[in-house]
Amino acid sequence: MTVQFGQIVAARALLFVPGHRPDRFDKAVASGADGVILDLEDAVAPADKDAAREHVDEWLSRGGKALVRINGSDTPEFEADLAVVARRGCPVVLPKAEDPSVLAGIEAPLVPIIETAAGIEAATALCAVKNVARVAFGSVDLATQLGVRHDDEIALGYARSRLVLASTANGIAPPIDGVTTDLGDENVLEADIQHARRLGFGGKLCIHPKQVAAVRKGFAPTEAELAWARRVLEAGESVSAVDGQMVDRPVLERARRLLAQQ
141 is in an annotated binding site: yes
Handedness of CA 219, 112, 118, 128 (dihedral sign): negative
**Band of the pLDDT at 239, cuts 50, 70, 90?**
low
Per-residue pLDDT, averaged over 171-194, amounts to: 97
For domain 5-220, which CATH number applies: 3.40.50.300, 3.20.20.70, 3.20.20.60, 3.40.710.10?
A: 3.20.20.60
Give Cβ neighbours of residue 38 (< 8 Å, ≥ 6 apart): 17, 19, 25, 56, 59, 66, 67, 68, 69
The pLDDT, as a whole number, for residue 15 is 98
Tell me the percentage of the chain whose pLDDT exceeds 90: 81
* pLDDT band, residue 238 (cuts 50/70/90): low
Question: Residues for the chain: how many in total?
Answer: 262
Q: Mean pLDDT throughout 168-183?
A: 97
Helices (H), 62-116: 78-88, 100-104
Annotated binding residue at 192?
Answer: no
Q: For 39-92, write each residue's pLDDT tens digit.
A: 999 999 999 999 999 999 999 999 999 999 999 999 999 999 999 999 999 999
Would you place residue 1 in the very low, low, confident or very high pLDDT band (cuts 50, 70, 90)? very low
182 is in an annotated binding site: no
Could you tell me how far CA 12 lies from the centroid of its own chain?
Answer: 7
In the chain, what are the domain boundaries? 5-220, 221-262
pTM of the model: 0.89
Q: pLDDT tens digits for 17-40?
A: 999 999 999 999 999 999 999 999
Q: What pLDDT is stored for residue 223 in this prediction? A: 78
What are φ and ψ of residue 175, in 5° steps? -70, 165
Q: Please give the C-alpha separations between residue 54 and each of 1, 29, 81, in angstroms, as whole numbers.
A: 19, 19, 10
Torsion angle in degrees (nearest 10) through CA of 111, 257, 193, 159: 50
Strands 35-39 and 67-69: parallel
207-228 pLDDT, tens digit per residue, is: 999 999 999 999 988 777 777 7
236 has a pLDDT exceeding 70: no
